[in-house]
Amino acid sequence: MCFRDHLVVVDALRFAEVLPAVLRAIFVENWRPERPPLPFPDRATLIAEVKANRRDHNLASDTSIAEVAAALRRTVDNVDLDRILATLPPQATDYWAA
C-alpha cells in the first residue's frame, strides 16, 4: 500500500483504527511491518506509486489519491480521521486532503 509504506508501524496501526473493518483488512493485507518506512516523496511520485500498485488490475488515474481521499472522508468519522492525521507526519495529512 502506497500510503502505509511511508509510516512507522505504530502510526499505520493508529491510522487503521479509523477505517471500517474491510478497509482495515485491505490496509494491512500483505504488509511487511519489519521493513523500515520509506520517506514520503512528492505528490507526483506518490501518484506513480499508486499507479504501479497491482499493475495488471490497476485503473488509477492522476487524480486517484484525491478521489480515494474524498471517498474515505465520506465513509469515516472525519473528526477521528483528522485527530489521527494530526499525530502523523504532515505529508500524511497532505495525502488525505480531499
Amino acid at 90: P
- Which ranges of the chain have pLDDT less than 50? none
pLDDT at 61: 86
Q: In total, how many domains does the chain have? A: 1
Distance CA 28, CA 77 (A): 20
Domain span holding position 69: 4-95
Contact 67, 95 (CB under 8 A): no
pLDDT at residue 73, rounded to an integer: 95
Q: What is the pLDDT of residue 98?
A: 63
Q: What is the pTM of this model?
A: 0.86
- Read off the C-alpha cell for 54: 497491482
